[in-house]
Amino acid sequence: MIRRTFGAVFVAALLVGFGGSAVAAESTEFAWPPADITPVHETVAQLEVRTAGFSAREVELVPRVVRGASDVRTGAWGHEAAGLFDGQQYVNNDVRFTTPRGATGLFVQIHAPGFFTTTPAGMCEMTTCTGSVRLADGGLVLFTEYAPGEWGARTAYSYRPNGEVVYVSTGYSSVVSNRQLALLATDRAFTFAS
């Protein structure tokens, strides 16, 4: 508990400078994927337990990160086609909730170590990168935008030293800030590593 709280405070302190929106930042080359990755292959039963924990954490975390969030509802975990299967290397779901400014939602995707191989530079070739933050643990948070405007999306990618990538997206016009996306994406409860 203390470790999680310290981690959240540390990430929050790093992101305060963004003030809700990222600013493009130059940084030294970020090596991805890491050299020593321990793959994770779980059964459907193990994934069901793990994703139940993810859902519980979303219900707990969203109101703490997004001021005024209530009525948090989590969608089913799966991958591009709904459902879980043995050896699945990533899971995703949607989270819907209400804020004083209206209803909104998130899309959460969690990748097992070594599965997400696109480098941050590669992401920036595919979409618009708006900034990044290097973390003390060696990780990186990358902020992207896709089709800015009413129907676009903003995403925070958490590249982790163990080879996991967790990302959280929201609509471009959503009340959820980049800082809040990063706090959600860097939460250590969202992991395939036990």
- Tally of residues, the chain: 194
Per-residue pLDDT of the chain (194 residues; tens, 9 = 90+): 444 443 444 444 444 444 333 334 444 578 999 998 998 999 999 999 999 999 999 999 999 999 999 999 999 999 876 789 999 999 999 999 999 999 999 999 999 999 999 999 999 999 999 999 999 999 999 999 987 666 679 999 999 999 999 999 998 667 899 999 999 999 999 999 87
- Cβ atoms of residues 71 and 97 within 8 Å: yes
In the block, residue with structure tokens 């080359």: 29
- The residues, any chain, with a CB within 8 Å of residue 186's CB and separated by 6 or more, are 7, 8, 11, 135, 139, 141, 158, 166
What residues does each domain of the chain span? Answer: 2-185
User: CB atoms < 10 A from the CB of 175, how many?
Assistant: 17
Facing residues of 143 across strands? 131, 156
Alpha helices in 106-172 (DSSP H): 120-126
